[in-house]
């Protein structure tokens, strides 16, 4: 049913004459990013050498660690976090099209982007299991899908990654509706280990946390803390976007 809905979305796009590419403004078929912009812009990123070694945001004038991570360190349970793109301009509209407008045809494209990024920028970890940040309870039942869940399904099915859904979400409150202060107050309270899926004899030594966007870092830190307490030794994280 999922693949059929993606094909139907592309078919409807074709019937309605396509849509405007969010990046270059040309008409395109299927998704709101033309194939040329996918190749030259979406699948082009700043290498990890030009990023903060802690939060993964691109460095402008700093070297090694950004000012924010030096002055207010938050990500203390991760070895490194690597978001792919900055959440601004056409990329902001692209994420909106996927998460809010429900353009699920973007799911396999984002999965290929993340797979390529991990294999190139985290090559030594390409065989590590991926742990998705879980959705709010009942979201999939209410809305029919969750973006990170679907992203990981494609990463498993199309790209051969092992997915370990070790986490569960305790809070029903949407993090995106909270300001930084409120998010920090929730640190350690929103996510925890799903004990039903945890086997002490099978806890991996290293994992890669997967999410769609890095905002304050509270979600990644909370999930990483829970995984460390469960016995995971090294935790890396990868997100599609980050808020600068």
Res 51 pLDDT > 90: yes
Q: Provide the CB-side half-sphere exposure for 112 (13 A, CA).
A: 10
Q: Averaged over 7-14, what is the pLDDT?
A: 46
Q: Averaged over 119-128, what is the pLDDT?
A: 95
Which token pair is 186?
A: 């929730």
Q: How confident is the model at residue 9 (pLDDT cuts 50, 70, 90)?
A: very low
Res 66 pLDDT > 90: yes
Tens digits of residue pLDDT in 33-43: 999 999 999 99
Residues recorded for the chain? 244
Task: Specify whether the CB–CB gap between 191 and 221 falls below 8 A.
Answer: no
| % of the chain beyond a pLDDT of 70 | 84
The model carries a pTM of 0.87
Strand pairing partners for 234? 206
Backbone φ and ψ of 209, nearest 5° = -75, 140
* pLDDT at residue number 181: 54
* pLDDT at residue number 184: 52
Strands 167-169 and 191-193: antiparallel
Query: What is the pLDDT of the chain when averaged over all its residues?
Result: 87
Tens digits of residue pLDDT in 79-99: 999 999 999 999 999 999 999
Highest mean pLDDT among 14-23, 59-68, 213-222: 213-222
The answer for 72, left when phi > 0, alpha when psi is -120 to 50, beta otherwise, is beta
């Amino acid at each position: 049913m999922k693949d059929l809905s993606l094909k139907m979305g592309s078919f409807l796009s074709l019937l309605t004459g396509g849509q405007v590419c969010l990046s270059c403004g040309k008409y395109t078929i299927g998704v709101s990013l033309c194939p040329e912009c996918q190749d030259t812009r979406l699948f082009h990123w700043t290498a990890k050498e030009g990023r903060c070694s802690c939060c993964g945001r691109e460095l402008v004038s700093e070297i090694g660690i950004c000012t924010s991570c030096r002055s207010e360190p938050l990500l203390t349970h991760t070895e490194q976090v690597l978001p792919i793109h900055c959440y601004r301009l056409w990329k902001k509209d692209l994420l909106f099209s996927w998460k809010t407008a429900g353009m699920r045809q973007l799911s396999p494209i984002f999965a290929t982007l993340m797979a390529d990024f991990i294999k190139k920028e985290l090559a030594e970890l390409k065989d590590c299991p991926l742990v998705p940040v879980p959705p709010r309870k009942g979201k999939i039942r209410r809305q029919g899908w969750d973006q990170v869940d679907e992203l990981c399904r494609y990463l498993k099915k199309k790209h051969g990654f092992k997915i370990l859904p070790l986490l569960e979400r305790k809070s029903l409150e949407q993090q995106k509706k909270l300001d930084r202060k409120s998010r920090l107050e929730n640190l350690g309270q929103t996510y925890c280990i799903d004990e039903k899926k945890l086997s002490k004899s099978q806890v991996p030594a290293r994992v890669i946390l997967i999410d769609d966007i890095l905002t304050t870092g509270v979600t990644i830190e909370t999930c990483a803390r829970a995984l460390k307490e469960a016995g995971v030794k090294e935790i890396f994280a990868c997100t599609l976007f980050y808020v600068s």
